[in-house]
């Protein structure tokens, strides 16, 4: 695969997402390309990721600035302010200064924590992301959203802090547990539905190869998704408008995750169900043709079987949707589809239709068109 350099235009300046099989081996060379050299490198990662890729990363960085590894637990339960404090104190004790650069090697948890540390340490130092999950490669490492959880809710403390560079090496996905990989595929499918016909058709034709992690198909699709994310966040860094389309499927997903206390679903799996709900709502609202909806649902189905839905009362579920970060004045907001590549925001969806769409997920049935 030819190396791809995709540019993200941020208010803090442009940065490159370098996508290439084997890119990890060139991490040092890529870091040398930073506008200002790093005084020191701090490699933030988790013991699990480090076990698989620590040596290769250290080798790839050979010749770059002096590096020190700081490992922390990347369970979602560890994505909190205590972890941020521990890392920041280790940085301070190790003499990190304003010219130091954090290299975050891991999934979305490592990236979100490391990104937030970088946003706040010494009022902001540079971060380079080396995403190691499919979710992180196509989504979380790009766009500058960082943050941690509070007991009161997910991602409630955070900041926008754009990376200086993102190094995407699809080879790193080889060691990812299969369920984690498949969970990432649902976010990939999301790009297909909100993106364009071409990406959608590529996914329709290539889903089997993707599920089997065939290198060529995977690399091609990662590049397309990175391009899509780069385009969207370049246009709308702070989620004032366009960037909201990335929340397709997420209103229901977040409610599914919170009502099951984040235990039943991996995020992408909840997004899989959430997209089906959004598609059915779009049909019920007569926004999308049933034929197009069927194609979208078939694509989601092709990624594999989703975990069973929980037995949660309709009232509790709707309440969880109302407290979603996207809700405004207690009105549930949805990103709906008008067809591949065409989305529409809606905060005027009648709750009985929402309830119908949700129960249709359980029965596999359809929602009546209004």
Spot the catalytic one: 20, 187, 257, 269: 187
The residues that bridge with 280 in the sheet, in sequence order, are none
The residues that bridge with 7 in the sheet, in sequence order, are 16
175 is a site residue for ligand NAD (CB under 6 A): yes
The residues that bridge with 127 in the sheet, in sequence order, are 102
DSSP of 7-20: EEEETTEEEEEEE-
Q: Is 316 a catalytic residue?
A: no
46 is a site residue for ligand NAD (CB under 6 A): yes
Question: Scanning residues 230 to 269, which ones bind ligand NAD (CB under 6 A)?
Answer: 267
172 is a site residue for ligand NAD (CB under 6 A): yes
Q: CA-based angle 345:112:275, to the nearest 5?
A: 30
Q: Is 247 a catalytic residue?
A: yes
Nearest to ligand NAD of 237, 339 (CB atom): 237
Nearest to ligand NAD of 116, 317 (CB atom): 116
Stretch that binds ligand NAD, among 20-28, 42-50, 81-89, 306-314 (CB under 6 A): 42-50
Would you say how long the chain is, in residues? 370
Rounded Cα distance between 34 and 13, Å, is 12
Rounded Cα distance between 51 and 27, Å, is 18
Nearest to ligand NAD of 108, 249 (CB atom): 108
118 is a site residue for ligand NAD (CB under 6 A): no
Binder to ligand NAD among 60, 143, 163, 170 (CB under 6 A)? 143
180 is a site residue for ligand NAD (CB under 6 A): yes
Contact present, 285 and 368 (Cβ < 8 Å):
no
Query: Nearest to residue 342, comparing CAs of 282, 281, 272?
Result: 282
Query: Nearest to residue 280, comparing CAs of 364, 197, 196?
Result: 364
Nearest to ligand NAD of 307, 353 (CB atom): 307
Nearest to ligand NAD of 49, 188 (CB atom): 49
CA 249 to chain centre: 13
Contacts with ligand NAD by CB under 6 A lie at 46, 48-49, 52, 74, 76, 79, 106-110, 112, 132-133, 135-136, 139-140, 143, 145, 155, 172, 175-176, 180, 267
């Amino acid at each position: 695969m030819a190396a791809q350099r995709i540019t993200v235009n941020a208010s803090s300046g442009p940065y490159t997402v370098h996508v290439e099989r084997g890119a990890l081996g060139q991490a040092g060379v890529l870091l040398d390309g930073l506008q200002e050299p790093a005084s020191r490198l701090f490699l933030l990662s988790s013991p699990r990721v480090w076990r698989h890729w620590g040596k290769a990363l250290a080798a790839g960085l050979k010749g770059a600035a002096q590096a020190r590894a700081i490992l922390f637990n990347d369970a979602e339960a560890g994505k909190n302010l205590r972890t941020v404090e521990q890392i920041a104190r280790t940085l301070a004790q190790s003499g990190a200064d304003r010219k130091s650069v954090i290299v975050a090697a891991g999934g979305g948890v490592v990236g979100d924590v490391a990104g937030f540390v970088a946003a706040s340490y010494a009022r902001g130092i540079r971060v380079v992301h080396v995403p190691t999950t499919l979710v992180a490669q196509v989504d979380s490492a790009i766009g500058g959203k960082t943050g941690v959880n509070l007991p009161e809710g997910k991602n409630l403390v955070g900041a926008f802090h754009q990376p200086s560079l993102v190094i995407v090496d699809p080879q790193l996905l080889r060691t990812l547990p299969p369920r984690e990989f498949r969970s990432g595929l649902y976010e990939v499918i999301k790009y297909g539905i909100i993106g364009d016909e071409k990406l959608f058709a590529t996914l329709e034709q290539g889903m089997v190869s993707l599920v089997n992690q065939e290198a060529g198909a995977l690399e091609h699709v990662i590049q397309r998704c990175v391009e899509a994310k780069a385009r969207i966040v370049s246009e709308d860094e702070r989620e004032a408008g366009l960037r909201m389309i990335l929340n397709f499927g997420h209103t229901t997903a977040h409610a599914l995750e919170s009502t099951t206390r984040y235990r039943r679903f991996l995020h992408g799996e909840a997004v899989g169900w959430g997209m089906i709900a959004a598609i059915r709502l779009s049909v019920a609202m007569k926004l999308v043709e049933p034929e197009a909806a069927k194609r979208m649902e078939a694509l989601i189905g092709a990624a594999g079987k989703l975990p069973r839905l929980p037995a949660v009362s309709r009232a509790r579920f709707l309440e969880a949707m109302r407290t979603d970060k996207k809700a405004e004045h207690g009105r549930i907001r949805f990103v709906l589809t008008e067809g591949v590549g065409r989305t529409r925001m809606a905060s005027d969806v009648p709750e009985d239709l929402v309830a119908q769409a949700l129960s249709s997920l359980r029965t596999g049935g359809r929602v009546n068109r209004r």
